[in-house]
Structure 1
Amino acid sequence: MNIEELRQRAGLTAERIAESCGKSSGTIRNWEAGRSIPKLEPREMMQVLAAYQCTLEEFSEAIDVSRTEQKRKKPGRKPGDRNL
C-alpha cells in the first residue's frame, strides 16, 4: 500500500490531510507521488499518523512503496544517451 492508498483508506483528501498535519497539499501530493519523503519532527509524525489513521510501520512501508513506484515511472536512459 502506498501513501495515497493509505489516505484513501482513511477516507480523506490530500487537502484534509494537509490541514490535519500543518503541511501544504502540494507536500502531501509529493509524498504520494514519491517525489519527496516526509521529514518530520516527532510531534508532526504523531499528527500525520493520526490523520492517516495508521501505525508508524504502515506509514514507513507506504513511503517505501511510493518511492519504489516513482523510480519505476522514471524513464531509463538508453545506451549512448548523453547529458547535454
Structure 2
Amino acid sequence: MDKRVKNLLYMRSPMMELRKKSGLKAEQVAVELDIAMSTVRNWEQGKTIPKLRIDQFVKLCQLYDCTLEELYKAVKSIYSEANTLVA
C-alpha cells in the first residue's frame, strides 16, 4: 500500500476516533486488553481486525464507551476502506 494512502487511512480511522473520543492512548488500550501496542495501531491502520476474546471485546467497548454495534461498524469501515483502496 502506498505510504500516502496509509497516512490518509490512519488519520481517518474510525477505530482511532473511538479511542481518541475516550481520551485514551493506544498504549493504555493495549495494557488494559493485555495485547501489544502494535496490535492496536494495526487496527487503526486497517492492517488487521480485532481478534479478541469475548471478554476483551466487552472491555474494549467499555474503554471506548461505545456499544458493540458501534465497535463493529468502526472495524468494518476501516477494514473495508483499506481493502478497497489497495485493490
- TM-score when scaled to structure 1? 0.79
Q: Is the 8 A contact 1:2 1:62 kept in 2?
A: yes
The gaps in structure 2 that reach 5 residues or longer are 1-12
Q: Deviating runs (4+, > 6 A) in structure 1?
A: none
Given residue 60 of structure 1, which amino acid in structure 2 is its aligned partner? Y
Which residue is equivalent to 1:10? Answer: 22
SS at 1:34 equivalent: coil
Residues 25-55 of structure 1 deviation map (CA, whole Å, 9 limit, x = unaligned): 1000111111111111111111111111111
SS at 1:30 equivalent: helix
Residue number among 21, 35, 56 corresponding to 1:23 in the alignment: 35
Asked if residue 54 in structure 1 is aligned to residue 38 in structure 2, the reply is no
Larger radius of gyration: 1
Deviation (angstroms), 1:69: 2.8
CA RMSD of aligned residues (A): 1.5
Which residue is equivalent to 2:52? Answer: 40
Separation of aligned partners in 1, 2:85 and 2:29: 25
Identity of aligned residues (%): 35
